[in-house]
Structure 1
Amino acid sequence: MSISRDVPEFPAWPQFDDAERVNLLRALEQGQWWRMGGSEVTEFEREFAEYHGAEHALAVTNGTHALELALQVLGVGPGTEVIVPAFTFISSSQAAQRLGAVAVPVDIDPGTFCIDPAAVERAIGPRTAAIMPVHMAGHIADMDALEKLSADSGVPLIQDAAHAHGARWQGRRVGEFPSVAAFSFQNGKLMTAGEGGAVLFPEGEQYEQAFLRHSCGRPPADRGYFHQTSGSNFRMNELSAAVLRAQLGRLDGQISLREERAPLLTRLLDQIDGVTAQSRDERCDRNPHYMMMFRLPGITEERRNALVDKLIARGVPAFAAFRAIYRCPGFWETGAPELSVDELAARCPTTEAVHQDTIWLHHRTLLGTEEQMHRIADVVADTLATA
């Protein structure tokens, strides 16, 4: 018997209440809506840094700019290379490529979908200026292995934490690692102001350089237009920061609920023939679950895409997985390695499979009820069986 077409409506996203309204009114009434005259951005930076255990936070316009700024502070530019996972949103590579660097894609772990440290080690060369692990879907990459590689090679890490607000690895928050980390507050992220980003810095000199570069090279108290470095305008406005302060206030509770629901849904999905959910390294002891990801090994990309459409039609907010970055035309416009698509694909067999056979569900599904987790699994099973 076919499952009912409709799954009960999941909680909406983005979420807001009177906290955002109060904060926005406060920001409006202070009379200054940019960071140099107001207090919301500065207070948000303090709160966000404290929440993640970091010494410094710098709020910026979006997550892509956060990556670009962090890479520039690390010395990435023409003549350098940045190692990135082949399976990620393309901002990870484009941030390096826009600085004139070459992005070097490497393969991922078949269980967690995070960057494979062994593949990273093989890719390190004399021009490698940074290694960028992406904490895929909120699961922190293997920071034990990556920190050792960084220490042994002298190549710094930059954490792409766009999915990892509030994540922990063996009790360590993202800001407690001695490496730069970049976040996104785009509309679908775990906390959002529609757009926005932030960079966490472990020490003050990096923060000071980043502040200059995110404000056209201009010091905060400058009145004579003495621009000390090159840069751009990556400043966050006061209204976005006011919204994000409210979003941060409810983040921890949302993560706790997702951490309750995710093991149940993972177990239910893994019980379906032909379905394999993203695995979890037990060292990742807090996963905020930006996505609920699962594979359909052996399925074609065309059939996977058709299944996504059917899940959406039945009330499940489903999406096709990221495309391998080297299979996107934009990857080849500038800063691409001297390898063909086929050569990169041969080096990234897990990425080749995952980008074709993986589906992900919006994190708002994990804010639903236990009954909804069962309904999701039922719909997935029924859709697969009748496709």
Structure 2
Amino acid sequence: MHARQGPEFPRWPQYDETERDSLIRALEQGQWWRMGGDEVNSFEREFAAQHGAEHALAVTNGTHALELALQCMGAGPGTEVIVPAFTFISSSQAAQRLGAVAVPVDVRPDTYCIDAAAVAAAITPRTRLIMPVHMAGLMADMDALAKISAEAGVPLLQDAAHAHGARWQGKRVGELGSVAAFSFQNGKLMTAGEGGAVLFPDTEMYETAFLRHSCGRPRDDRRYLHRIAGSNLRMNEFSAAVLRAQLRRLDEQIALRGKRWTLLSRLLGAIDGVVPQGGDVRADRHSHYMAMFRLPGIAEEKRNALVDRLVDAGLPAFAAFRAIYRTEAFWEIGAPGETPDAIAERCPNTDAISRDCVWLHHRVLLAGEREMHATAEIIADAVAAV
């Protein structure tokens, strides 16, 4: 198959003089790490304010954000962390690297977010945390999960790596009363190439996290009096300077992506065999990290061939995440005492979605209406050809 000229989409990451000026500002302050400069501190205040949180702590990347939050919330050997079976592998590995057992549960077939009923069924006396993932920026059912959390006495940790600026019934991620972790990796909705952040609803946990992310060392320490075990997860000043610029574009970009998804999802839904990701009216602000759709019943090999066709035609298309229990990495450490097939039996939606789902990078949704029509036409042609 010959590659053809496809629609033109905006580049990603996006940047302009704002990022350039921010980097110069960070450079010229003469202190390039957070303990001497002000860019990280300023970014944390701005990010917390925009997401309705009491505190934000900037860290090296999204995986470390999850690990730090999990550690501060008591995950470790002898504990279990409930995670969606359909997610990027960091959601489970962050818990597993701490010695906790990751317990995969199924997701909903329409939203691809964790199924609250499956969560309730998976809770045991060893369950320490429940980790919903806001898939593609669509928030999980936070009402049902909050109820389960309260009744079981098991706290929630929101994996909000896709959900910058998202809302649930008018509440921002930081206003839901639980810890939340974000990623600023290169493809995310705002980025410095790498980076992460954790939102905390209370000062005590935030202060503990600050110590752990800085080798257990207090801010004012001059005698190497490390109070608790930790690691160096500190964000540098240059990354924070870039993220402050990226944060200023977030609201406008979310609005545009939402408008474009309304059109694109309608066009995709008109293609025989294509089912766009569903929504939830209570998730009244979907940040659209990915434009996702399923082809129910398609074989995985054909789905992969379809993705290749889309890429050849100029779309930034990808196969969906593999079910975490279908990866070798999941079984290296902190895996439950089950076989992959046993987990798959109780996760039929995850098994199906990981075979039949496709996603497009969110820069597609930053293009014009003409590109939405062109995208849908390319997908229709490719579906008809496989």
TM-score range, shorter chain: over 0.9
In the other structure, the counterpart of 2:32 is: 33
How far 1:385 sits from its partner (Å)?
Answer: 1.0
* CA distance in 2 between partners of 1:219 and 1:63 (Å): 23
* CA distance in 1 between partners of 2:24 and 2:334 (Å): 44
In the other structure, the counterpart of 2:145 is: 146
TM alignment of 1:154-165, pairs within 5 A: 154-165=153-164
TM alignment of 1:1-387, pairs within 5 A: 5-387=4-386
Q: Deviation per CA, 1:338-365, whole angstroms, max 9, x where unpaired?
A: 0000100001000010000000000000
How many pairs does the alignment contain?
386
* CA distance in 1 between partners of 2:384 and 2:318 (Å): 19
The question of whether the paired residues in 2 share the 8 Å contact of 1:112 and 1:279 is answered with yes
* CA distance in 2 between partners of 1:219 and 1:67 (Å): 21
The question of whether the paired residues in 1 share the 8 Å contact of 2:112 and 2:277 is answered with yes
The question of whether the paired residues in 1 share the 8 Å contact of 2:86 and 2:106 is answered with yes
* CA distance in 2 between partners of 1:155 and 1:8 (Å): 47
Amino acid at match of 1:356: R
Give the superposed CA RMSD: 1.1
SS state at 1:35 partner: coil
The question of whether the paired residues in 1 share the 8 Å contact of 2:7 and 2:375 is answered with no
How far 1:5 sits from its partner (Å)?
Answer: 3.6
* CA distance in 2 between partners of 1:5 and 1:24 (Å): 38
SS state at 1:84 partner: strand
* CA distance in 2 between partners of 1:282 and 1:267 (Å): 16
Amino acid at match of 2:211: L
Q: Which contiguous aligned blocks of 4+ residues in structure 1 show a shift greater than 6 angstroms?
A: none
SS state at 2:240 partner: helix
SS state at 2:225 partner: coil
The question of whether the paired residues in 2 share the 8 Å contact of 1:35 and 1:41 is answered with yes
How far 1:7 sits from its partner (Å)?
Answer: 2.3
Amino acid at match of 1:22: D
SS state at 1:95 partner: helix
How far 1:8 sits from its partner (Å)?
Answer: 2.0
* CA distance in 2 between partners of 1:39 and 1:274 (Å): 52
How far 1:384 sits from its partner (Å)?
Answer: 1.1
Q: Deviation per CA, 1:69-121, whole angstroms, max 9, x where unpaired?
A: 00011011100000000000000000000000000000001110000000000
* CA distance in 1 between partners of 2:266 and 2:46 (Å): 35
Q: Deviation per CA, 1:172-209, whole angstroms, max 9, x where unpaired?
A: 00000110000000000000000000000000000000
The question of whether the paired residues in 1 share the 8 Å contact of 2:264 and 2:372 is answered with yes
SS state at 2:76 partner: coil
SS state at 2:58 partner: strand
SS state at 2:48 partner: helix
Mark the runs of 5 or more structure 2 residues left unpaired by the alignment.
none
With the length of structure 1 as denominator, give the TM-score of the two structures.
0.99
How far 1:290 sits from its partner (Å)?
Answer: 0.2
SS state at 1:71 partner: helix
With the length of structure 2 as denominator, give the TM-score of the two structures.
0.99
Q: Deviation per CA, 1:326-384, whole angstroms, max 9, x where unpaired?
A: 00000000000000001000010000100000000000000001111011111100111
How far 1:302 sits from its partner (Å)?
Answer: 0.5
Deviates more, 1:163-172 or 1:377-386: 377-386
